[in-house]
Structure 1
Amino acid sequence: MNQRRLMIMRLLDARKKFTARELAERFDVSVRTIQRDLDYLQQLGFPLYTEVGANGGYRVLPNRILPPLQLTEHEAFGLFMMMEYLQQVPDFPYGSIREQLSDHYFSSLPSDVQDRITRMSQHIAFLQNHSKQPEALTTQIIHAAMEKKQIKFTYASRSGLKEIEVYPIGIYYEHGYWYMPAQKRERVLLYRLDRMQSLAILHQTDTSVPTLKEWLISTDDREKIEVTVRFTDFGARLAQSDILFKLMKDYEWRGSVPPEEFPFMARRLLAYGPEAEVVQPKELRELVGELLESSLAPYRQDF
Structure 2
Amino acid sequence: MSKSKRLLELMMTVNRKRKFTVKELALEFGVSTRTMLRDLQELSELGVPLYSEVGPHGGYQVLRERILPPIAFSEEEAVAMFFAVYALRHYSSLPFESESASALDKFYLHMSGDVRDRIDQMKNRVDFVTPTRQQESPFLSILLEAAIHQKVLLIEHESRGDTAGRKIQPIGIYANNGLWFCPAYCFLRKDFRVFRCDRIHSAEYDADTEPIDLRHVHLGNKESVFQKEKESVQLYVELSRSGVQMYEAVLWLSSHLHIREDGTGWLEGPIPQSDLAFYARFFIGLGNEATVKHPPELVGYMKRLFAEIMSKYE
Interval of TM-score (by shorter of Structure 1 and Structure 2): 0.5 to 0.7
Identity of aligned residues (%): 23
Query: Aligned partner of 2:222: which letter?
Result: L
What is the aligned partner in structure 2 of residue 194 from structure 1?
Answer: 198
Q: How does 1:68-217 map to 2 (within 5 A)?
A: 69-158=71-160, 160-185=162-187, 186-203=190-207, 204-210=209-215, 211-213=217-219, 215-216=221-222
C-alpha displacement at 1:148, in angstroms? Answer: 2.3
Structure 1 80/227 Cα, relative in aligned 2: closer, same or farther at 3 Å?
A: same
Structure 1 alignment gaps of length 5 or more? 4-66
Does residue 283 of structure 2 align to residue 281 of structure 1? no
Structure 1 2/214 Cα, relative in aligned 2: closer, same or farther at 3 Å?
A: closer
User: Quick one: distance in 2 between partners of 1:159 and 1:2?
Assistant: 64
**TM-score if structure 1 supplies the norm length?**
0.68
User: Quick one: distance in 2 between partners of 1:164 and 1:272?
Assistant: 34
Aligned pair count?
Answer: 237
Spell out structure 1 runs of 4+ moving beyond 6 A: none
C-alpha displacement at 1:234, in angstroms? Answer: 1.8
- Counterpart of 1:212 in 2: which secondary structure? coil
Question: Residues 152 and 199 of structure 1 are in contact (CA less than 8 Å); yes or no, is this contact kept in structure 2?
Answer: yes
Structure 1 174/187 Cα, relative in aligned 2: closer, same or farther at 3 Å?
A: same
User: Quick one: distance in 2 between partners of 1:293 and 1:198?
Assistant: 40
1:145-177 CA-to-partner distances (Å, cap 9, x unmatched) read 233222222333247433322111211222332
User: Quick one: distance in 2 between partners of 1:69 and 1:276?
Assistant: 50
1:242 aligns with one of 223, 235, 250: 250
Does residue 276 of structure 2 align to residue 262 of structure 1? yes
What is the aligned partner in structure 2 of residue 55 from structure 1?
Answer: none
C-alpha displacement at 1:106, in angstroms? Answer: 0.5
User: Quick one: distance in 2 between partners of 1:198 and 1:295?
Assistant: 37
User: Quick one: distance in 1 between partners of 2:203 and 2:273?
Assistant: 29
